[in-house]
Amino acid sequence: MPSSNSSIAKPAAFLDRDGTLIEDSGYVGEPGRVRVLAGVPEALRLLGEAGFDRIVVTNQSGVARGMFEEPDVERVHRELQRVLAQDDGAVDAFYYCAHLDDDCDCRKPLPGMVQRAVAERGLDLERSVVFGDRAGDMMLARAAGIPGILVNPYGEYAGPEPLYRARTLLDGVRFFLERVHV
């Protein structure tokens, strides 16, 4: 009897939130501050069509700093999903670190959130990728042993060299799907 494709682990696109999916306007703890960046819904749709789980991994130290609480982070994520759905975009799961301690294993650039998502969702880490706008995101990719795509329209960057430097998430996703993921 042939094996079912549903038993094959899916790869994941691990996505930073602020500066990659939404405008980075500081500590975002209010749903009304969610501003999705241009091209993001299409990029997420393309990743989904290519068989990737779309997993947000985000540091949210505003919780530890007392600026907002974890339910506020979850409300922001629900609003992001709502806005993305208007343009056929979606995220499959959200993982966040609410801590400020750099020794926490879930705080980027450490790979705890990625490892947790892989374990909980049965993902294929070897075929996965990280998209993010900061050195910590590229360090996360390196720590997880997967490619990192830097999404940075500003040009200035001091960190580990990414696989590709993209001006937008859509540019980075197209590069990855056309030239890397085969």
Whether residue 2 is predicted with pLDDT greater than 60 in this model: the reply is no
Kindly state whether residue 61 falls inside one of the protein's structural domains: yes
Kindly state whether residue 171 falls inside one of the protein's structural domains: yes
- The C-alpha atoms of residue 148 and residue 145 are separated, in whole angstroms, by 9
89 with 42: CB under 8 angstroms?
yes
Kindly state whether residue 80 falls inside one of the protein's structural domains: yes
Residue ranges making up the domain that contains 39 = 11-180
139 with 131: CB under 8 angstroms?
no
Kindly state whether residue 150 falls inside one of the protein's structural domains: yes
Kindly state whether residue 5 falls inside one of the protein's structural domains: no
**What's the number of domains the chain is made of?**
1
Give the chain's radius of gyration (CA, Å): 16
69, HSE (Cβ side, Cα atoms, 13 Å): 1
Kindly state whether residue 56 falls inside one of the protein's structural domains: yes
4 with 110: CB under 8 angstroms?
no
Say if pTM beats, i.e. exceeds, 0.95: no
Kindly state whether residue 114 falls inside one of the protein's structural domains: yes
**Chain segment 63-119, per-residue pLDDT in tens:** 999 999 999 999 999 999 999 999 999 999 999 999 988 678 899 999 999 999 999
For position 53, which CATH number holds? Answer: 3.40.50.1000
3 or 28, which is more confident? 28
**Chain segment 38-69, per-residue pLDDT in tens:** 999 999 999 999 999 999 999 999 899 999 99
List the Cα angle 122/112/69 in 5-degree steps.
Answer: 105
Q: Which residues are catalytic?
A: 16, 18
